[in-house]
Chain A
Amino acid sequence: MGELLILLYIFVLATLAGKEVISKVPPTLHTPLMSGANAISGIAIIGALVVTGAADQPWVKVLGTAGIVMATINVVGGFMVTDRMLQMFRKR
């Protein structure tokens, strides 16, 4: 259980760190925050790459490839649309 405990430590501490930095985001930026966070949840692409890269069975490869496509849509689309929104926030 040692390894699993370390993972749990990381999970809890990262959640607390996330809570701290995200609470400071003002309501004005909540939509970009959400779409940006959304892009970050595309981190699942790492998992998809690992699984697909090592795939030696056809169905594993199919699932992994589908995972890569979905996660990449999430990552690329998420960061791009967040940038598109944020460049509109201007002070005049």
Chain B
Amino acid sequence: MESNTITQIAYLISAILFVSGIKQLSSPATARSGNARASLAMLLAIVVTLLDHEILDWTTVLAAVVAGAAIGGVLARYIQMTAMPQLVAVFNGFGGGASAAVAAAEFLRAGGSGPSLELGVGVTIVLGTLIGAVTFSGSLIAFGKLQGVVTGSPVTFPLQKTLNALLFLGVLVIGASLAHVGVANGVAPVFGMGALEISGPFFAALVAGALVLGVLLVIPIGGADMPVVVSLLNSYSGIAAATTGFVLNNYILIIAGSLVGAAGLILTQLMCKAMNRSLGNVAFGAFGTEGQTARVKTGQRPVRDVDAEQAAMVLAYAGSVAVVPGYGLAVAQAQHELKKVCDLLEDRGVTVRFGVHPVAGRMPGHMNVLLAEADVSYDKLLDLDDINAEFDSTDVVLIVGANDVVNPAARDPDSVIAGMPILDVDKARTVIVMKRSLSPGFAGIDNDLFYMDNTLMFFGDAKDQMSELVKEVREA
């Protein structure tokens, strides 16, 4: 067989392994082997590519692989689970950056050999560079926001949308004229480009414009909307890789890239649905600002507050407890203490389950990972629909650091969060809310749940109060 045929068959096997690997992610029991299968698919594709293509300089190629593997390995090994969204954002950025670099290298190579590009190749080079560069700079800003290096509040300025639209248009015009290089044979290109000396500056402008665009697209988005942004950038990084597959005429790049593109899009949709917002509203709404909290006055109505001892009594003598964790739990790093409380309750014969809202963390499914890290069994983690069917028959709900996702105002058509999917905790017999104060969440509205007759407010820092609770439940 020709070496090319062998390569194509190996790529096919690799594609099958990628798809079946992702399929295994549909259950926690098989997910780990699914990930191993996908990494095997990647290894196969890499080895076959190295064997099939002529490598002029092995030293450089291998050194680059070793350097990348070392950096990636160290990051993966030592990152805190709470910092997972930042890490994914950075990795996304590198994926996009790699695609942009490949497309740019192809442009240089083609430009050096004269205007011989086909129109299709020209278009894909431009698209690969554009999407890759936007993913790169956008992801780095998302990283900065999640890490707290860049402000989490939306950064807005006058005429921002107009500027973004103009920049996008400008980048498209430059891109279109560059792509036109391809028809230079016979037809006069828009800017008379062809040779690298002439088209080079335009290409540089394309890269610069795309990088700036990535920054401008992410800075107006608030910290609470990051799950959507990270999902969307994930999708972009896949599409960028698929686009370079078009440039290089490489099937496995297209297949793997489009799988990722689809994954990112699905997660983006799910996140938007969980927040009851459209993608357009997330991208341009400048929502999710802590600054909005000043809008409402809270604490004007009486609440029933309890101390650790009273809360422990209520929990210890319940038949069933549902825990609703929010991002506040992760911020306070109280998940391990929470696990201790739950263990003590289970030792007493109390049924304990967790109701996790899709946007409970800073990326889709983030809270589940944090609870898994605290050694909570995954079959106790219930998603929105499953736990909502159970609240009617639940004795006590313990809410830790969550607010908007348990606000019954979502059922009021006049509320700003109307229609947002919530956890129906008010249907339980008793609700204990562990929270610093009565201050509103990201939506900036008061929460009627706090003032209900069957709600007990347990004020304080989640970690301190949880430690108190461990002590009191033990003695109860």
Contacts and interface: CB of A to CB of B under 8 A. Distances in A.
Interface string A57-75: 1011101111111111111
Nearest to A28: B368
A85 B28 CA distance: 11
Given A33-B25, A41-B260, A54-B53, A27 B120 contact: no
Given A32-B31, A67-B105, A81-B75, A75 B372 contact: no
B329 to A, nearest CB: 16
A17 B75 contact: no
Nearest to A85: B369
* Interface range, A side: 35 or more
Contacts of A48: 98, 101-102
Contact of A91 (B28, B72, B97): B28
Contact of A28 (B28, B241, B375): B28
B interface residue count range (under 10 / 10 to 19 / 20 to 34 / 35 or more): 35 or more
A79 B39 contact: yes
B365 A46 contact: no
Interface stretch (B152-160, B215-223, B248-256, B426-434): B248-256
Interface string B35-63: 11011001001100110011111001100
Interface string A19-55: 1011111111111111111111111111111111111
Contacts of A65: 60-61, 64
A81 B76 contact: yes
B54 A29 contact: no
B245 interface: yes
A47 B253 contact: yes
Nearest to B238: A41
B275 interface: no
B108 interface: yes
B149 interface: no
A15 B65 CA distance: 28
Contacts of A36: 22, 25, 34-35, 38
B72 A29 contact: no
A23 B230 CA distance: 18
Contact of A56 (B22, B56, B381): B56
A18 B267 CA distance: 12
Nearest to A31: B365
B261 interface: yes
B230 A21 contact: no
B384 to A, nearest CB: 8
Contacts of A75: 39, 42, 68, 72
Contact of B87 (A45, A51, A81): A81
A31 B364 contact: yes
Contacts of A37: 22, 234, 238, 259-260, 263-264
A68 B366 CA distance: 29
8 contacts: A15-B262, A26-B26, A42-B94, A49-B55, A55-B109, A71-B68, A77-B71, A84-B76
Given A52-B55, A68-B68, A72-B65, 10 more contacts: A7-B246, A7-B251, A15-B259, A22-B262, A24-B26, A30-B358, A38-B92, A56-B56, A74-B95, A84-B77
